[in-house]
Each structure stands twice: as C-alpha cells, then as structure tokens.
C-alpha cells in the first residue's frame, strides 16, 4: 500500500505545487492555503485465485481540499480532479485502472481547522498484479 500512497502523492504534486500537497499526518503546523491532504485506503481482498493469491484489489484515494475561502477549496478540488480524474497511478508491479470519481462532499467548516473550510473527494481504482 505504501507504493500506492507514494504514487498518489506524486501524481497530485505533479498536477500542482508540491508544497501544497500533503500526506495524512504530515501537514505542516502553518500550511499555505489552499492545500490537499490525501491517502490511499487499503485494498479489499477480492478475486481469490485457486492458488490462494488475490487478483485485482479495489482501492480508494481520499483527498481533503482545504482553504480559507470557498474559492480556495474549489481551486484545490479542481487540482485533485486534474491529477486523478480518468488517470491511472503508475506503480511498479501493479497495473492500475483509471481513477473514477466516487464522492465529493459539500464544503464545510473543518472541525479541526478553526477558520478553515474543507471538502472530501474520493476516487476509486483497481490494482492488478503485473502479468495477472
């Protein structure tokens, strides 16, 4: 899963300013807004093979777009869409399907961020072991 997180962060940083894209738990104390915070969920174990190994595993990329104003939040959300919408992650040893949008929450006041606003965006994809 670490490889998928690394690939998702790299894709978001390539689509925007790398200093404004953070991994969950790694947001600086005084971040420049707007910014994105994201991670990849652990994949569900599906598609078992007769050998006991698993084929494709579905994953979810979760991003929070954070800003001081609605315009900042929507700007960050647009950057997430630019990075992931109909794009595939590049991960050694995995063939990944195109990311598809799943949910975008309404913009709300971040309960942990005081004056900040946030919305959550999710994208789903499936990763298959290379050669599967």
Query: How high is the pLDDT of residue 101?
Result: 94
- What's the average model confidence in pLDDT over 62-76? 96
* pLDDT reading at 132 higher than 60: no
Query: Which residues is 118 bridged to in the sheet?
Result: 66, 108
Reported for 52-57, long-range contacts at CB under 8 A and 24+ positions apart, including other chains, are 53/129, 55/128, 55/129, 55/132, 56/126, 56/127, 56/128, 56/132, 57/126, 57/127
Average model confidence (pLDDT) across the chain: 89
Confidence of residue 66 (pLDDT cuts 50, 70, 90): very high
Query: What is the average pLDDT across 35-63?
Result: 80
Task: Tell me which of 21-30, 34-43, 45-54, 92-101 is least confident.
Answer: 45-54
pTM comes to: 0.87
């Amino acid at each position: 899963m670490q490889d998928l997180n690394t690939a998702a962060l790299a894709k978001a940083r390539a689509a925007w300013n790398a200093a404004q894209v953070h991994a969950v738990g790694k947001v600086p104390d005084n971040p420049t807004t707007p910014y994105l915070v994201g991670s990849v969920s652990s994949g569900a174990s599906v598609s078992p093979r007769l050998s006991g190994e698993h084929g494709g595993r579905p994953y979810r990329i979760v991003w929070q777009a954070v800003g001081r104003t609605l315009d900042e939040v929507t700007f960050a959300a647009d950057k997430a869409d630019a990075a992931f919408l109909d794009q595939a992650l590049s991960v050694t040893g995995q063939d990944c399907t195109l990311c598809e949008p799943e949910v975008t929450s309404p913009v709300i006041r971040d309960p942990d961020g005081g004056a900040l606003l946030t919305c959550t965006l999710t994208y789903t994809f499936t990763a298959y072991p290379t050669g599967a």
